Amino acid sequence: MVTLILSVLCSCSQTDSSGVTAEEKMEVSCNCVDGVFSSRNALPIAHSRIGKILVIFCGYKGDYYELDSIDNTQNNFGFKRTAFEIIQCSNDSVLVVVEEYYTDSIRVSDEGFKHFRLSHFPKAENLEYEPTTLLEYQYKETQDGIGIDTLIALPPKFFQQKYLNELVGLVEFYKNDTTDTSKYYDLKLHYLFLRALSDEKFMGEFISSGPYDGYMGPVFRDFKSYLGHERRKNGS
């Protein structure tokens, strides 16, 4: 797995004469900072930790939500949000910035938190698109700071042959539709991405299918980046 190391300071658990640990004081006093999408005048969205390192989530856009079909990996409290930052409490440093283009899902529990990037993929039986987890970011405390592993988190159903056969059927159906060519290119983009994830022989066809116009441009860029990450992770 490819790991990104960020420089952090360790938060220690020393107890003062009042019996309150430094971590407990830090958790009470940890506030948002002025960042790209956060403001020191705003309250944190949530508190959590990476190992023993206390962190908060701050940002402008998004909503709290209970368990729903978007992310069924945890059955406890979470939130879905765009444009937020993960901030380390011990030194007020911004660890991660999530831009407005993306929508991420955070699941908070007593053990820490889970961080997923969401996307929309076509349902094979029609042209409707459903929200799903695309990436999972796994955070861990290391000797050198915080390590972040990025994993593909698409549900297995998107790699099943039945789904892929139905999806390529839609691609062929809309190939000759001159009324709205975006349907064809969007379906083809998602199909080739899924095939390239599981079979490297499709990588060249995926890359040569671009570039794309409009909203599909950033989608193609990100898919290409994710495929490159998977190839490096697998040593190919």
Neighbours of 148 (CB within 10 A): 19
Q: Using 50, 70 and 90 to split pLDDT, how confident is the model at 234? A: confident
Residue 68 confidence (pLDDT) = 45
Task: Tell me the pLDDT tens digit for each residue of 56-70.
Answer: 999 976 655 443 444
Q: Walk across the sheet containing 112-122 and list its strands.
A: 3-6, 145-152, 129-142, 112-122, 104-109, 78-81, 63-65
Alpha-carbon distance 217 to 222, whole Å?
Answer: 9
Q: Which two tokens stand for residue 128?
A: 């409707």
Mean pLDDT of 210-220: 93
Task: Tell me the pLDDT tens digit for each residue of 172-188.
Answer: 999 988 888 999 999 99
Peptide bond before 211: cis, by omega within 30 degrees of 0? yes
What residue spans define the domains of the chain?
A: 3-154, 157-233
Alpha-carbon distances of 76 from 52, 111, 150, rounded to whole Å: 21, 12, 23
**Is 185:212 a contact under the CB 8 Å cutoff?**
yes
Task: Tell me the pLDDT tens digit for each residue of 78-102.
Answer: 788 889 999 999 889 999 999 988 9
Residue 147 has pLDDT above 80, yes or no: yes
Buried residues in 184-195 as b, exposed as e (16+ CB within 10 A): bbbbbbbbbbbb
Mean pLDDT of 127-136: 89
